[in-house]
Amino acid sequence: MADETSTAPKINYVDTSIGFFPLVLALICGVATGVLWAYANPIQLVPGVIQWRIFAFLPPLIGLLLGPKSGFITGYVGTIVWSLLAGTFIPAHSLLVDGIMVGLTGFVPPYIVNLRKNDFDTSMPVLIKVAVTSLVVGIVMVVAVSASLAYLGIFPFDYAMLYIGLSDIVPMVVGTPLLLIPGLRILAGISRGSLHWF
């Protein structure tokens, strides 16, 4: 049951099947995410390789707003686009480990915190659950990505854990719950109250 103090707008999701529009919207979100990751990260943690990814919250946020599959596509496509633009594309790592694990950061939070089933309750306990879920899935992602980079001989495991953790986990934990309510308001405005859930 939704908290009476919740300020989230009402959105009616009209479809749960794969359709052309939700798939295209998820792909657009993924490309935009990759471009932002490549060109809008001014703080270098490891110059030329790891930036403080201030838009790391986009896959979980898109997932919470549009559905788990949309979140996964946003994270996966964003990773591929970013790695190609940044010149860090490594086929085995980018397509398998990094792409899938970042995709899961967009899939898991909306799967666990299903706002649609709870009348878009955005009370403080729900926002804390979003932050905790983002933290846990972020840690799992960083461990897997760091292990892959260490296996490939690119970075030592602990070095990758530190810098990728700082790069991705902090923006996910802070940005996702912080921007959830404004995101719902924007969606309610542009969708005129009805939207595809994918």
Give the model confidence (pLDDT) of 81-91 as tens digits: 999 998 889 99
pLDDT at position 53, please? 83
What total of structural domains would you count in the chain?
A: 1
Residues 6+ apart with CB under 8 A from 103: 59, 71, 72, 73, 74, 75, 76, 79
- Between 33 and 42, residue with greater pLDDT: 33
What confidence score (pLDDT) does residue 2 get? 45
Q: What is the CATH number of the domain that holds 96?
A: 1.10.1760.20
The answer to whether residue 3 is domain-embedded is: no
What CA–CA distance (Å, rounded) separates 188 from 8?
9
- Greater confidence (86 vs 57) lies with 57
On whether residue 106 sits in a domain, the answer given is: yes
Looking at residue 69, what is its pLDDT?
A: 94
Burial of residue 70 (CB within 10 Å: 0-12, 13-18, 19+) is buried
The residue among 131, 62, 157, 43 whose CA lies nearest residue 102 is: 62
**Position 18 in a domain:** yes
Structural domain containing residue 153: 12-196
Residue 140 lies in a domain: yes
* Residue 155 resides in a domain: yes
pLDDT digits (tens, 9 = 90+) for 2-23: 444 555 566 666 555 556 678 8
Pair of tokens at residue 163: 């810098």
In a domain, 6, yes or no: no
Asked whether residue 5 is domain-assigned, the answer is: no
| Any domain includes 7 | no
